[in-house]
Structure 1
């Protein structure tokens, strides 16, 4: 049977870990009591805990009241200094504990844990209830706006020659609320009378933020002015909003008929976006409420378990007494979460699932895909095939002397080898991402939430390994066949285009519209690449700049891709004139651009984040990528003209960029180098138990960051071709990035945990404006 502590840790919400009952600390207190009193500790669980891990609260309650003994302890309840804390509990030990040393410390710690659990539950419950009320009010506004738009469209078609009726004057805006909604609004008014000033300041902040975005129309419903605020996260939305304003406000009445149709289309589009925003808010709110239910259930079980252990160690019977207090405490008796959760289900089924509860539950309670044993089997099959084919390819290449400086076939190294090196770097990166997923999962790092991946569609690490092994088996198999044909003397145009067919095949798989080969992942990848390419036009999210950082480690891949595109598009493969592209001026200029592009994209993302968030840190981060661009330019210039001046520039600029990047890696991205930390040179909170791994990773990151010294030193590795050395160094950079990925998300996870942030904050579309405003 799995120990309770492991099951407990596996089930708790990672970002709320510090808010859960500290079961391990209480176990340490029990060990002290055991040591003080020389009592033997029975490690075997009794029959009560051999049942299922998830027990009903009714069974817990009945168990607690069977062995009532009021002569051991007495728990006092007192009012806290602030309303947010609620009631505080303090345990008084009676005469029975006179012979038990350490019991007072144990119950003091237990009281602190109970008070912490109650306080956190109360705060989170209040937060979710406020969000729930706000989301339901937004849904009500959306229903009114939708009905108003439908009626306006019908009137416009009936009275095409009359003046347009405005939404603000349409009677459909004045609707009768249901009895349930009216009662809810009355309760909200009573609660909000005390928090008038806070609400006004909140509305003011929302109004200031909304000034950055366009709004569709202002309409009046039930005496309130409302605007639909759709955040302009894409150029399409911005142009649509601008077009709406130009058409409706600048052109005027002379083209009223056209403006009406355009206005209807714009309003319909905005309402569609508003509906999606409200739907996402409901999904995230429901997820948060589910976490809160798990929080209550797990803490209740933890209290039962630790009290049972205490009774075994001390031979006392305090479980029934203290458990009665826990059962009557706020976190276990409050029913607001259950009621709000049921109400959200009801509304979601009605408005977002067409009264289909099964469809609604697919959004509210998404099921994670089960991992199949077939995936593991095929990983083994493809891995074996890849190793065999790779061994054959290397042996044949060695016999032909292809990878030596005095290669008998320089055309192969100039045309086919870039294809091999490009795919090797790509799938090495993907393989390391699979390793990252495995380590994140083992370390309880919620990478799916951080990167905003869809729970039902995100790749598992086994699936990533399957993609890598299957793809590399295909690639090496095709190139092995191509090399065999060349060795036999086949040099026709068709044979020379085999590597090009390989590139086209993977490109077609990537953009394939059919629901095969992980379509959702492929399309999400293309969407992120689009966001990177058009930076800073798109709002930057975590996944966007995380992927852009990956591209910064794949400059050699981009250079090879650019060269191969030129080689095959210009039909140089027909004459095997591999030097044609390098002789053209535009290609040399493009080579500079490709080397700069990843750093440029990342710098533009930093600029966009500074514009959106106003934090100077993003400008400092932008400077890091500018320094990398300068260093890359100096290296390219030095490769072209081997002069002392360019060598000096390479050393100075690369050294400065390396120091800049190292500091940012350690202090900002990884959150290390905290000199006053309890873990020297690290941080207070570490996800890995072995501190040596962090120190090793810091040293390894330093060594791999110095790979640019190869440009200056030009080390000699015998008869090996320089391109092979370049591939090896590029692979080291990819490995460094794979290591960086783990600590980057670990730091992000700890930041979320420090703020107890386990669900996304979804912006809501409708903004209320007072009459005087």
Structure 2
């Protein structure tokens, strides 16, 4: 692999703009190279004596002339061996490095002069960024020092609530000579013990306990109870309680803080090494192209700069390792380093094999399903309508889930391809995030189970009046749903437990909105659920179909039940209601007016959805007009919000007209195509209002197609939404999570 590609692959995605622009400097070197080639062609004389242009210059004498303030020592080699002179200057209170090119009189020297100016700009940018990041981690190290002092004092209070044993030594009283002798011996022994203890204390000085007098607990655990207390203005209980439970909680928080801090130091060290290596590589290319020897002089400057000579990050890494191993790994170095070091997820060949295996099985089952339908003429059977009204909604649930997960796998593939740090954005635990292969494995596995269930159900005649009809076959979809739910809640460390629990945690937070603090994974999942309205209605149909015993006779009496119809409104509204409450919480908590407008957008969508549901159940001109007006308004507002706020597009004064200033995909037509497609898919609901007849499809088929189009729109929305989030992070160089700390000092609270 060429260094340029390797350099780009190892960059911190959010810091990409702070790295040396290696590709741009290579283009400048190509300009120098192309000029040199043109010059050689012009110098080539077809006939006669060929001479170098340097032979026609004015004679410079046998003595080397010096060049003013940039002259070189007489003891140093001549100018031909040192074409550049690098020095540091102080401008506006900051140190910068400037390179003086001493060979400007040579032909093509202006190209090389431009190259060195751009090279200096890149180096000063890198050096300044590195200084700022080192200053940040040094300041954070001071905060962690104070947290560790409080933690050690807290541990002392918990493990030794009565104080140190040598501090509570009882005094001995006696009147007899023997008692006095014994007392004297005890005093001598006690003095010896105290000396030993004093020596030990010098080696292992415990934190002063008076620190705890000005420390409070940070209650960072967001629960419904804490939210209600804040809403009721209840006093916060932040006093220290010295018990084992709090000690474990404090220790876990500090562990997370140290792991994240160590990751910052690793990235800083990698940043310094990669950029230093990049400057070395580009200077070697320059020497090769220009036939000069400038890399040694320039790299001496790089090595002597803050970027090349600073050891703060390395020393800090060593101190972090020693502290973590001692206090959080019980002095077990291998255990401590296993926790500190980042864990990359291993790619397993078995995952690829089973993904392909299930994909092949799914394709074979689809072909078998088509052949059975054609061979038995099932579509023209008397029981087709009855089957479509009963069994089809049950199985379409799995189709919606599989389609959504496949689209998510496609998103993961393209996020990785365009270096969108989705694991950091979602807050996945390092090393546990699923790649597109793992997501496809889950999708195809579920698809195979669902298709096998459909085939087992179609193995009988569709008409319930025939003798082949059995009630047990109707329970197959219910069994499949139960199996999926059991797998989802399985507590064992199999089948991607970390990802399953992460999903359940976000789902729980979304359902209980606004009682939990809104994080990006929570509202991102809630947005996904707004595109699965038909899946929620399928779940409602499961409860009705099996709860009321309709499966025994394969009949659908749910649509004629008022309770079922009422819940059709409620079930469809739940995801939008949850999303609206999340926006309202952010509006009141962050004082962000934009979140208030976003909540209004979801409210309009809820009204439009309820009116469309009412129209589908009641059928009337007034319902149709109201549903049409509110649905158009909701679609227009949501489309504008998608393009402008979620995707960051439609910017008139951008460098890329109507797009963003920065784009991850080079082809702008992709963005314009996505905008047009998003508008078209946003209005797919028109079919539910006007009830278009396409290819004489059954009503359930049309409902499934419209629902699938919305899922496809959401899958496309996911990529551009996360791309915009990643670019915002990169613009502000946000590459780390903020980890809540356990203690809060009084002076910090005053600040």
- Quickly name the TM-score band, shorter chain normalised: 0.7 to 0.9
Query: Aligned pair 1:76/2:52, yes or no?
Result: no
Distance 1:771 1:574, change over 3 A: closer
Give the Cα–Cα distance (whole angstroms) in 1 for the partners of residues 77 and 455 of structure 2: 75
In structure 2, the CA distance between the partners of 1:492 and 1:279, relative to structure 1 (3 Å rule), is same
Q: 2:154, 2:212 within 8 Å by CA — same for their partners in 1?
A: no
The question of 1:614 aligning with 2:628 is answered no
Give the C-alpha shift of residue 674 in structure 1: 1.1
Could you tell me which residue of structure 1 aligns to residue 485 of structure 2? 507
SS in 2 for 1:79: strand
Stretch deviating more after TM superposition (466-475 or 371-380): 371-380
CA contact (8 A) 1:75 1:322 kept: yes
User: How has the CA–CA distance of structure 1 residues 543 and 40 changed in structure 2, closer, same or farther, with 3 Å as cutoff?
Assistant: farther
> Cα offset for 1:483?
0.9
DSSP-derived class of the 2:344 partner = coil
SS of the counterpart of 2:697? coil
Are residues 602 and 389 of structure 1, via their aligned partners in 2, closer, same or farther at CA, if it must alter by over 3 Å? same
Counterparts in 2 of 1:264 and 1:16: CA distance versus 1, 3 Å: closer
Which residue does the alignment assign to 1:539?
517
* Structure 2 CA distance for aligned equivalents of residues 352 and 319 of structure 1: 46
User: What is the distance in 2 between the residues matched to 1:112 and 1:178?
Assistant: 53
Q: How does 1:8-27 map to 2 (within 5 A)?
A: 8-27=7-26
* Deviation per residue, 1:295-315 (Å, 9 max, x gap): 111101110111111112211
1:317 maps onto 2:293 in alignment:
yes
Shift of 1:540: 1.3
Residue of structure 2 equivalent to 1:392: 368
| Partner in structure 2 of residue 556 of structure 1 | 534
TM-superposed deviation, 1:518: 1.4
Q: Does 1:712 align with 2:689?
A: yes
Aligned to 1:287: 263
Q: 1:416 aligns with which of 386, 391, 396?
A: 391
C-alpha distance 484-101 of structure 1, shift in aligned 2 (>3 A) = same
TM-score, structure 2 length as denominator?
0.84
CA contact (8 A) 2:217 2:743 kept: yes
Q: Aligned in 2, Cα 1:178/1:4: closer, same or farther, shift over 3 Å?
A: farther
Correspondence for 1:98 among 90, 96, 106: 106
Distance in 2 (alpha carbons) for counterparts of 1:92 and 1:248? 64
Q: For the Cα contact (< 8 Å) 2:531–2:710, is it kept in 1?
A: yes
Which position in structure 2 is the counterpart of 1:299? 275
The separation in 2 between residues aligned to 1:692 and 1:711, in whole angstroms, is 31
CA distance in 2, matches of 1:247, 1:125: 36
2:703 equivalent to 1:726: yes
Unmatched tracts of structure 2, length 5 or more: 41-75, 165-197
Give the structure 1 partner of residue 452 of structure 2: 477
**Compared CA separation, residues 270 and 590, structure 1 to 2 (3 A):** farther
Look up the match of 1:109.
Answer: 118
Change (3 A) 1:469 1:524: same
The equivalent position to 2:215 in structure 1, one of 226, 229, 251, is: 226
Q: How does 1:449-468 map to 2 (within 5 A)?
A: 449-468=424-443
Mapped to 2, the partners of 1:610 and 1:67 lie a distance apart of 69
Aligned CA distance change for structure 1 residues 97 and 287 (closer, same or farther; 3 Å): farther
Corresponding residue number in structure 2 for 1:361 = 337
After superposition, the C-alpha distances for 1:648-697 in whole angstroms (9 at most, x for unaligned) are 11111111111111111111111111111111110110001111111111
**Partners in 1 of 2:110 and 2:590 — Cα distance?**
55
Per the TM alignment, residue 235 of structure 1 is displaced from its structure 2 partner at its CA by 2.3
- Matched residue of 2:745: which SS? strand
Counterpart Cα distance in 1 of 2:301 and 2:240? 60
Alpha-carbon offset, residue 381 of structure 1: 1.9
Note if contact 1:349-1:357 (Cα within 8 Å) is conserved in structure 2: yes
* SS of residue in 2 equivalent to 1:12: coil
**Match among 415, 419, 436 for residue 444 of structure 1:** 419
Could you tell me whether the CA contact under 8 Å between 1:224 and 1:769 is conserved in 2?
Answer: no
Match in the other structure for 2:147: 138
CA contact (8 A) 1:67 1:320 kept: no
Q: How many pairs align?
A: 677
1:667–1:618: structure 2 CA closer, same or farther, 3 Å change rule? Answer: same
**Residue 30 of structure 2 is aligned to residue 31 of structure 1:** yes
SS across alignment from 1:74: strand
Which residue matches 1:253? none
Output the TM-score relative to the length of structure 1: 0.82
Could you tell me how far apart the structure 1 residues matched to 2:529 and 2:228 are? Answer: 29
- C-alpha deviations, 1:397-441, integer Å up to 9, x for none? 35556557x852433222221122110110110011111110000
Q: Deviations over 1:198-230 (max 9, x none)?
A: xxxxxxxxxxxxxxxxxxxxx982485111111
Tell me how far 1:132 sits from its aligned partner: 1.6
Q: 1:495, CA displacement in angstroms?
A: 1.9
Residue pair 1:26, 1:306 contacting (<8 A) in 2 also:
yes
**Paired residues of 1:627 and 1:653 also in contact (CA < 8 A):** yes
* CA shift for structure 1 position 763: 2.5
Query: For 1:431-490, what per-residue CA distance to the aligned partner results, in whole angstroms no more than 9, with x for missing partners?
Result: 111111100000011100000112221111111111111221121012101210345843
Q: What corresponds to 1:5 in structure 2? A: 4
Deviation at 1:241, TM superposition (A): 11
Query: Does 2:602 match 1:603?
Result: no
* Cα distance, 1:139 vs structure 2: 1.9
Q: Distance between the aligned counterparts of 2:263 and 2:200, measured in 1?
A: 28
Structural RMSD (CA): 3.1
- CA gap of 1:549–1:66, structure 2 versus 1, over 3 A, is farther
Q: Distance in 1 between matches of 2:87 and 2:235?
A: 68
- Counterparts of 1:479 and 1:530 in 2: how far apart (Å)? 31
| 8 Å Cα contact 2:81/2:292 also seen in 1 | no
1:176/1:236 CA distance change after superposition, 3 Å: farther
| 2:695 match: secondary structure | coil
d(CA) in 2 for partners of 1:283, 1:651 = 54
3-state SS, counterpart of residue 460 of structure 2:
helix
Partners of 1:723 and 1:759 lie apart in 2 by 47
CA contact (8 A) 2:228 2:515 kept: no
Q: Distance in 2 between matches of 1:14 and 1:457?
A: 19
Residues 175-196 of structure 1: CA distance to partner in whole angstroms, max 9, x if unpaired?
999879999x9xxxxxxxxxxx
Aligned-partner Cα distance in 1 for 2:236–2:668 = 62
CA distance in 2, matches of 1:453, 1:660: 32
Higher alpha-carbon Rg: 2
Distance 1:537 1:134 in 2: 30
